[in-house]
Amino acid sequence: MKDLFSELETHEALADGAILMHGFALADEAAILHAIEQVVEAAPFRHMNTPGGFRMSVAMTNCGAFGWVTDRHGYRYSPVDPQSGDPWPQMPPILQALAERAAQEAGYRDFSPDACLINRYEPSTKMSLHQDKDEQDFNNPIVSVSLGLPASFQFGGLKRTDPVRKYALHHGDVVVWGGPSRLFYHGILALKQGQHPLVGSLRLNLTFRKAV
C-alpha cells in the first residue's frame, strides 16, 4: 500500500500548479545518466550566444524532435542542430518516460514532450531569472530534472519584480510547473563547488517541454 505520509514529505508545493518532487528520478539515475551520455556523444555540449552577443556560461545540448537554441537571430526551437546541421538526437525512451511520469504525478496527464534541453552547470555558473515562453502552447507544463551537484532554485511570479523564493534542488529532484504558474520567472543561483559520486563537479539539468 502506498505510504501517503511519505508522499506528503517528499512532494512540496511551490505555487498553484507547481510542485517539487524530491528524489523522484533516483530510481532510474543510472539509466538516465547513460542516456545523457549517448545524447552528448551525438550532439556535444556547447556555449550558445544570446541575441545580444553574450556567451552563456551554462553549456547546452538537446534531444527530441526540437531543440532550444539561441544566437544573434533570437531564441527559438529548431529541428536541427545548428552546429552540425543534423537533426537533434532522438529523445531516449527512458527520458521521455521520466518526463511523462513526472507530469502525470503533478496532475498534467496529457504531457508528451518533443524537446529536452540539457544544461551543464560548472561551479560559479548560473541561470538568470527568465520565463520559458518560446513554446507555442502554454497549456503544457515544464518538467525539470536535477542531477549532480545541489543548486539553489529561484521561483518567482509572473513579473520579474515579484518576490522570489529559493529552494534547494538535489540529485534526483524533479520540479514541474504549469497552469497558473506556467510563465513564472525562475532561475539558478551560482553553483557552489562540490563533488558528486556519479556526476563529478557538475550539475546536469534536463528541461522537458512541448515546443510545437
Binding-site residues for substrate: 68, 75-77, 134, 160
Q: Which residues are annotated as a binding site?
A: 68, 75-77, 119-121, 130, 132, 134, 160, 186, 203-209
Query: Left (φ > 0), alpha (ψ -120 to 50) or beta: where does 92 sit?
Result: beta
Q: Which residues are annotated as a binding site for Fe cation?
A: 130, 132, 186
- Cβ neighbours of residue 92 under 8 Å, at least 6 residues apart? 35, 38, 39, 63
Q: Which residues are annotated as a binding site for 2-oxoglutarate?
A: 119-121, 203-209
Print burial letters for 14-47: b (CB count within 10 Å at least 16), e (below 16).
Answer: beebbbbbeebbeebeebbeebbeebbeebeeee
Helix axes 93-105, 29-42, angle to 10 degrees: 130
What are the beta bridge partners of residue 167? 153
